[in-house]
Amino acid sequence: MADPDEVYNLGAISFVAYSWENARLTSEVTGLGVLNMSEETRLYAGDDISKVRFYQASSSEMFGKAQQGSAR
């Protein structure tokens, strides 16, 4: 049995042209995939939310080009 400290979700459809042509599949993989992974992580952690960390890898295809800010 696995006993993870961290869960990394790297699954997504990131080819823009394909994602436009297959919007439903893209939504299911990229959107519902996150929901399913985070829900399973929550269920695994139970009452101890600090038991496991969930990392969602996202990209500029999801959020657009990031603007760099100045350090203060």
Residue 71 lies in a domain: no
Give CA–CA dist 29/66, Å, rounded.
Answer: 23
What was the pLDDT predicted at 60? 58
- Under DSSP, is residue 8 helix (H, G, I), strand (E, B) or coil? strand
Q: Specify the number of domains making up the chain.
A: 1
Residue 37 belongs to what domain range?
12-61
Strand partners, 53: 6
φ/ψ region of 68 (left if φ > 0, alpha if ψ in -120 to 50, else beta) reads beta
Q: Give the mean model confidence (pLDDT) for residues 44-62.
A: 81
Question: What does pTM read for this prediction?
Answer: 0.66
68 belongs to a structural domain:
no
What value does the mean pLDDT take over residues 19-43? 91
Are 7 and 54 in contact, with CB atoms under 8 Å apart? yes
Please name the helix (run of DSSP H) or strand (run of DSSP E) that holds residue 26, with its range, or none. helix 23-26
Q: Does residue 67 lie within any of the structural domains?
A: no
